Structure 1
Amino acid sequence: MQDVHERLLACLPRLRRYARALTGDSASADDLVQDTVERGWSRIGQWRPDADLRAWLFSIMHNLHIDQLRRSPPPASHLDDGDLPTNPSTTQLDLRDLERALQLLPPAQREVLLLVGLEEMRYEDVAATLDIPLGTVMSRLSRARENLRRLMAGEPAAATSLKVVK
């Protein structure tokens, strides 16, 4: 049990990073990480020792985040001139633009992009984590990269034109 505890603790930095990118708010991210670890620890018997603990925890986090989004609309944030740095460096501006662009991506695209790009997960692991087909991972990632490129260039994101087929 000690080994599992240590492995879970080793996942915390990546869980925090992913939660921060998902929520865009450090307080909400900390709450999401806490809920994820609590749920994971209480259900550790459901985790298979031959499976990737990180992917299993990310699945829990993903499901908790989706549940939270369904329960409440995202909070509106108001900026005031005091919130902006008076002389930000180019790097700070680029990072702020990237964070803003990530938040403008549809959640499904953002999740896949973050898991592949930031967390360096294999496509197969992302598919298992999000419980979607491998082809869906690849198409969402492609659309996310294109939309992110467009947003960073100051262009509008491409509209998705998916049709519901019965």
Structure 2
Amino acid sequence: MTRLWRYGLLLSRQRHVAEDLVQATCVRALERAGQFVPGTRMDRWLLSILHSIWLNEVRSRRVRQGQGLVDADSQLSVDGESVAQTHVLAAQVIRRVDALPEAQRETVYLAYVEGLSYREVAEVLQVPIGTVMSRLAAARVKLAEYPPLHTVPNPFTGERR
């Protein structure tokens, strides 16, 4: 559940929406339990369901606003910064990753935070594996453009960590 909630929060940027996404994911998984293939990873299946629900929500929101069908990738970009972090280096990394386009950010999250393989990420996002590799490569290039991370001096020794 924690992994689903983190992914829902990454997509929506709002706690209450993330909670709703997790609940909807659980309901849909129970309704479609017969579609789960024994021997496969349930977490990947649940992440895929959550992703699908989110895309449907983005599309329906656009329709309700009278803007018709739109490319979901263009609507997944959300401005804003995540909650303040206690560790300076972690906060810097999070800000840099957060500045990536949504498709890259989502792919980086699934591959590097959740530890899914490229193939698993492709299945969750319902894109070709080449698209996953391309998004990760583009994200690495973008992240490499930043100057080195700033370290914080240890208040006791003065050394940088």
Taking structure 1 as the reference length, what is the TM-score of the superposition? Answer: 0.67
Query: What residue in structure 2 maps to residue 142 of structure 1?
Result: 137
Question: Does the alignment pair 1:56 with 2:45?
Answer: yes
Q: Deviations over 1:76-118 (max 9, x none)?
A: 8899xxxx98xx86x2x55455444444322221221110011
Unaligned runs of 5+ in 1: 1-11, 155-166
Mapping of residues 35-74 of structure 1, within 5 Å: 35-72=24-61
Alpha-carbon distance, 1:120 to partner: 0.3
Unaligned runs of 5+ in 2: 63-74, 150-161
Question: Does the alignment pair 1:25 with 2:14?
Answer: yes
- The alpha-carbon distance between structure 1 residues 96 and 25, as it changes in their structure 2 partners (threshold 3 A), is farther
Query: What residue in structure 1 maps to residue 102 of structure 2?
Result: 107
- The alpha-carbon distance between structure 1 residues 71 and 14, as it changes in their structure 2 partners (threshold 3 A), is same
Cα distance in 2 for residues equivalent to 1:151 and 1:48? 43
Query: What residue in structure 1 maps to residue 4 of structure 2?
Result: 15
Q: Deviations over 1:110-153 (max 9, x none)?
A: 22111001100011111122221111111111112332444676
Taking structure 2 as the reference length, what is the TM-score of the superposition? Answer: 0.68
Choose between structure 1 and 2 for higher RCO, CA contacts under 8 A separated by at least 6 residues. Answer: 1
Alpha-carbon distance, 1:57 to partner: 0.7
Question: How many residue pairs align between the two structures?
Answer: 135
What root-mean-square deviation, in Å, do the aligned CA atoms of Structure 1 and Structure 2 show? 3.1
Mapping of residues 115-134 of structure 1, within 5 Å: 115-134=110-129
More helix by share: 1
- The alpha-carbon distance between structure 1 residues 27 and 103, as it changes in their structure 2 partners (threshold 3 A), is farther
Cα distance in 1 for residues equivalent to 2:140 and 2:103? 12
- The alpha-carbon distance between structure 1 residues 18 and 151, as it changes in their structure 2 partners (threshold 3 A), is farther
Secondary structure in 2 matching 1:48: coil
Question: Does the alignment pair 1:34 with 2:34?
Answer: no
